[in-house]
């Protein structure tokens, strides 16, 4: 079965890939934050991780550690354990409440979304030069229609965005320090991950690496 008219040439031809289309609701705002604003934000993250230290989360079931280290601004924080993923009121190591969301992040949320409520959780991810984040969907929030807003600080990352199914075509883009990404609508439910960090691409963090902040509305009963 070769050639024209078999009807199967497209699906079996490895050179014929379906094309990536940006999901609706995906918005990249390059350099939303000035250098000065990035330094102010970094200072706030540093203060937060003094009381809520970065810790290495583990995969549910296997207990395998992730390479990304995490903390949160509250009131709620996203935490992982062998029992699974959940949102909780306390830091898993110190058992203290999470530090509050800084006003400038609340202001960002109000500037780039139309969502009536403020986010309850802001996950702080720290990537050293070897850290990665595998392709996943964010599905632990009850408020599935609320957007997510992300801020990148420090070294550039190769970010990969796919579609609602794991095997959908993907597109890679570099996220740089000061960039903001808004994930609303369909984009909110798309697969995504971080394939690599590009060392020495920013002078913001003296020891290098990348910080990503993601604000989320969690919703009822957590």
Count of residues that interact with Fe ion, criterion CB under 5 A: 1
Nearest CB to Fe ion, comparing residues 22 and 97:
22
Minimal distance in Å, beta carbon 100 to Fe ion? Answer: 22
Alpha carbon distances (Å) from 57 to 54, 79, 123, 127:
9, 7, 12, 13
The entry of ligand MD3, Fe ion, none that residue 204 binds, CB within 5 to 8 Å by partner kind: none
Residue holding tokens 């409520």? 117
Q: What is the dihedral of CA 157, 176, 198, 187, to 10 degrees?
A: 10
79-to-47, 58, 204 alpha-carbon distances in Å? 20, 9, 27
Contact flag: residue 205 with ligand MD3 (CB under 6 A): no
CB of 2 to ligand MD3, least distance (A): 40
Q: Which of 71, 102, 214, 217 binds ligand MD3 (CB under 6 A)?
A: 214
Q: Does 182 bind ligand MD3 (CB under 6 A)?
A: no
Q: Which does 215 bind (CB under 5 to 8 A by kind): ligand MD3, Fe ion, none?
A: none
Minimal CA–CA distance to 48: which of 105, 102, 87, 92? 102
- Interaction between residue 148 and ligand MD3 (CB under 6 A): yes
Q: Could you say which of 131, 157, 205, 217 contacts ligand MD3 (CB under 6 A)? A: 157
Q: Show the site string, 134-173: x = touches Fe ion by CB under 5 A, - = not.
A: ----x-----------------------------------
The SS3 of residue 63 is coil
* Residue 27: half-sphere exposure toward Cβ, Cα within 13 Å: 13
Residues between 10 and 49 with contacts to ligand MD3, criterion CB under 6 A: none
In this chain, which of 41, 45, 153, 190 binds ligand MD3, going by CB under 6 A? Answer: 190
Could you count the other beta carbons within 10 Å of the beta carbon of residue 24? 10
The residue (of 120 and 138) whose beta carbon lies closer to Fe ion is 138
If we measure between CA atoms, which residue out of 146, 147, 208, 213 comes closest to residue 178? 213
Our CA dihedral for 70, 55, 141, 47, rounded to 10 degrees, sits at: -60
**Of the ranges 27-35, 56-64, 113-121, 154-162, which one interacts with ligand MD3 (CB under 6 A)?**
154-162
Structure tokens at 86: 């959940």
The Cα angle at residue 123 between residues 87 and 202, in degrees rounded to 5: 165
Site string for Fe ion, 100-139 (x = CB under 5 A): --------------------------------------x-
Closest CB to ligand MD3 among 150 and 177? 150
């Amino acid at each position: 079965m070769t050639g024209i008219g078999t009807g199967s040439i497209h699906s079996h031809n490895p050179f014929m890939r379906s094309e990536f289309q940006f999901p609706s609701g995906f918005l990249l705002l390059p350099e939303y934050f000035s250098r000065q604003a990035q330094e102010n934000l970094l200072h706030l993250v540093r203060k937060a991780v003094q009381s809520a230290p970065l810790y290495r989360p583990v995969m549910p079931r296997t207990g395998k550690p992730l390479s990304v280290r995490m903390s949160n601004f509250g009131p709620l924080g996203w935490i992982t354990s062998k029992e699974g993923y959940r949102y909780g009121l306390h830091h898993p190591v110190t058992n203290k409440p999470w530090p509050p969301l800084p006003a400038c992040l609340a202001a960002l949320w109000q500037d780039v979304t139309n969502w009536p409520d403020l986010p309850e959780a802001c996950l702080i991810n720290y990537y050293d030069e070897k850290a990665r984040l595998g392709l996943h969907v964010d599905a632990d929030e009850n408020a599935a229609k609320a957007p997510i807003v992300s801020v990148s600080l420090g070294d550039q990352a190769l970010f990969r965005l796919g579609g609602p199914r794991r095997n959908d075509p993907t597109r890679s883009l570099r996220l740089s320090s000061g960039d903001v990404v808004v994930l609303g609508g369909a984009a909110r439910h798309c697969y995504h991950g971080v394939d690599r960090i590009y060392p020495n691409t920013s002078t913001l963090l003296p020891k290098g690496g990348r910080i990503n902040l993601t604000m989320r509305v969690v919703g009822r009963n957590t």
